[in-house]
Amino acid sequence: MRSTRTVKFVNTKTTTTTTTTNNNDSRVVLNVGGMRFETQRATLKKLPATRLSKLTPQLSFYDPVLNEYFFDRHPGVFSQILNYYRTGKLHYPTNVCGPLFEDELLYWGIQREEVEPCCWMTYTKHRSTQETLQTLDSLELETVRSTTNDLIKKFDWENDFHLITSGHLPIYKRIRMIIWQLFEEPRSSTTAKIIAFISIIFILLSITTFVLRTLSIFEITEYDFVYVYIDDNTTEQTPVQNTQRRNTISGFDVIEWACNSWFIFEIILRFVVAPSKRVFCVSILNWIDFLGTFLFFFTYVLYNVFNYTGHYASLDLLSTIRVARMFKLINLHPRLKIITTTITYSSTLLNLSIFFCILVILIAGSSLYYVERLSNPSDSQIISVIDGVWLALTTITTLGFGDIVPKSLLGMILGAITTIFGVLIIDLPMPIVNEMFDNFNRHLLARQQLPKQRRRITPAVIPRKIKPFVPSNGHAHQHHS
């Protein structure tokens, strides 16, 4: 939120004199970046405690020959600042960048909150850009291979005794950094790319196997023989298909074992070489990887060691978490990271949309129930508020299963209105999310085109005021003699 501050301009009415000297002293010439500005001293006194209100000939940037003050600053911004002294209104020049404008205001001693409301949105646009750039920096999307110094800081080994005394780390720590780079920075080397490719193959193979083994053509049908009475004294065995157990061909088990062996090897090795065990343990992707691997071994031991004969579907439902391993591919491409970052930064807006969506569903569901009940209760398919909420949910989300429909005219009209509200609630936040994604994507493309290293500019040295040498009377007498 913008904070406002009132600036009080000093009334500088002066008495008019008839002498030419006083008239010239009331005018001041300012040379800013090679462009000369001329104004009244009384104008500069309107804003006390600023740089221009304290101009004296004793300052180092005063030129007595040209009778002007020289400032090596931006002349375009200064024209707006000088206009602020004259009119009391500070406008933002659109031909300069926001940080440059702020630096100029800081130099001249003017608060940035004094910018006029008409220019405030344009002026503060650079702050959102800076936040976007800081977010991209935190994601490390451009980091292909971390330097040795970056790795030492990441592992918190700056104060390592061996590093301080000999200049290099012990062998086991160097091996730990190398292994970490191979698994966490897939673009850092050819070996890291090969490991990333192997990991992708195992992830896709595991998910494909999980999907294919549910097809009936790969299932092995099991039958249980039960005794059936033919008559009072005769029984015979009759095969009955066992629908509780679903076995597949053994080839899928071999593939699952190979994939999960790689996953367990990868997660253990990454945990051992992780710079921070706490950060590793709180990562959602690591939890997905761990649970997917754990459930595989858990179900295998349960069925093959303890010979569990219960229902398979409940455990198979938990095993679907292995499909979430696809999220691990996010670390392999910058655009995928941008998508997740966009959703994270849009969480406030999305949560608000979900809240209003639930509110509309409850209101519409209750209204549909009572409208149908008042119109034709005998023919109504909405027999409870729960049915009305279900109808409102399928209507707002535009699913429209058709299992429950309104029968009365008022119910149909209310259903149409509910559809319109659903479209508005669901579609309105999407352009904002798309704009945020486009903002991240455009800045990422611009950052990739910038040079990796730039020339450093040393700060300018402020010159000091040098007094001209004036010989004393005694020396002057000796010189003339």
* pLDDT (0 to 100) of residue 160: 83
CATH code, 20-123: 3.30.710.10
**For residues 291 and 324, is the Cβ–Cβ distance under 8 A?**
no
Return the pLDDT at 39.
92
Instruction: Identify which of 350, 361, 355 has the alpha carbon closest to the alpha carbon of residue 429.
Output: 350
Q: Beta 27-32 vs 68-71: how paired, if at all?
A: parallel
Render pLDDT for 458-471 as a digit per residue (tens, 0 to 9). 665 555 554 544 45
Strand intervals (E) in 208-292 = 219-220, 223-229, 235-241, 247-248
Least confident of 61-65, 141-145, 383-387, 406-410: 141-145
| Predicted pLDDT at 14 | 43
Residue 29: the pLDDT is 92
Whether the CB-CB separation of 371 and 408 falls below 8 Å is answered with yes
Q: Is the pTM of this model over 0.85?
A: no
Position 473 pLDDT exceeds 70: no
Q: What single string gives the DSSP state of each residue in 304-336?
A: HTS---S-SHHHHHHHGGGGGGGGGGGGG-HHH
- The pLDDT value given to residue 390: 92
- State how far the alpha carbon of 201 is from the alpha carbons of 181, 348, 465, in Å: 20, 36, 72
pLDDT score of 72: 92
Is the pLDDT assigned to residue 16 strictly greater than 50?
no
Tokens 């592992």 belong to 155
Residue 40 has pLDDT above 80, yes or no: yes
**pLDDT tens sequence across 178-236:** 999 998 888 888 999 899 899 999 999 988 988 888 787 777 666 666 666 666 666 66
What is 344-429's CATH number? 1.10.287.70
User: For the segment 276-302, what is each residue's pLDDT rounded down to a tens digit?
Assistant: 999 999 988 889 889 888 888 888 888
Give, as one character, the DSSP assignment of residue 7: P
Banded model confidence at residue 150, pLDDT cuts 50, 70, 90: confident
Give the residue-averaged pLDDT of 162-166.
83
What's the pLDDT at 21?
45
User: Would you state the pLDDT for residue 186?
Assistant: 84
CB atoms within 10 A of CB 110: 20
- Dist CA 123 CA 116 (whole Å): 10
Task: Return the CA Rg of the chain.
Answer: 38
For residue range 410-460, what is the model confidence (pLDDT) as tens digits? 888 998 999 888 888 888 888 888 888 888 888 777 776 766 666 666 665
13 closest CA partner among 49, 39, 40, 36: 40
Q: What is the pLDDT averaged over residues 236-243? A: 64
The helix (H) or strand (E) run that includes residue 31 is: strand 27-32
Q: 477 pLDDT band (50/70/90 cuts)?
A: very low
The whole-number pLDDT of residue 460 equals: 59
Q: Which DSSP letter does residue 462 get? A: P
Distance separating alpha carbons of residues 434 and 39, to the nearest angstrom: 49
Write down the H helix ranges in 381-470: 385-396, 409-427, 429-449
Q: Average pLDDT over the chain, rounded to whole? A: 80
Q: How big, in percent rounded to 5, are the helix, strand and coil portions of the chain? A: 60, 10, 30
Closest of 332, 414, 326 to residue 375, by C-alpha: 414
Statement: residue 169 has pLDDT above 90: no
CB 255 within 8 A of CB 209: yes
Write down the domain spans for the chain.
20-123, 191-271+280-332, 344-429
Over residues 362-372, the pLDDT tens digits come to: 999 999 888 88
Mapped onto helix, strand or coil, the DSSP state of residue 403 is coil
Cα separation, 172 vs 191, whole angstroms: 19
18 versus 53: which is more confidently predicted? 53
| Dihedral sign, Cα of residue 367, residue 369, residue 372, residue 376 | negative
Given a cut of 90, is residue 269 above it in pLDDT? Answer: yes
Q: Which residues contact 268 (CB under 8 A, 6 or more apart)?
A: none
Q: Above 70 in pLDDT, residue 339?
A: yes
In angstroms, the CA 358 to CA 213 distance is: 38
What is the signed CA dihedral for 149, 154, 155, 160, rounded to 10 degrees? 40
Q: What is the mean pLDDT of residues 325-346?
A: 78
Contact in structure between 85 and 51 (CB atoms under 8 Å): no
- pLDDT above 90 covers a percentage of the chain that reads 21
pLDDT value at 13 more than 50: no
Give me 18's structure tokens: 């008839």
pLDDT of 303 strictly over 90: no
Instruction: State how far Cα 429 lies from the chain centre.
Output: 17
Average pLDDT of the segment spanning 128-136:
78
Q: Report domain 191-271+280-332's class.
A: mainly alpha
Query: Which one is predicted more confidently, 314 or 178?
Result: 178
Residue 241, helix vs strand vs coil? strand
With cut-offs at 50, 70 and 90, classify the pLDDT of residue 377: confident
Alpha carbon of 283 to those of 227, 266, 328: distances in Å?
55, 15, 11
Digit-coded pLDDT (tens) for 65-108: 888 999 999 999 999 999 999 999 999 988 888 889 999 999 99
Q: Is the per-residue pLDDT at 177 higher than 70?
A: yes
Residue with more model confidence, 137 or 78: 78
**Mean pLDDT on 107-131:** 86
Neighbours of 353 (CB within 10 A): 19
Q: What is the pLDDT of residue 441?
A: 80
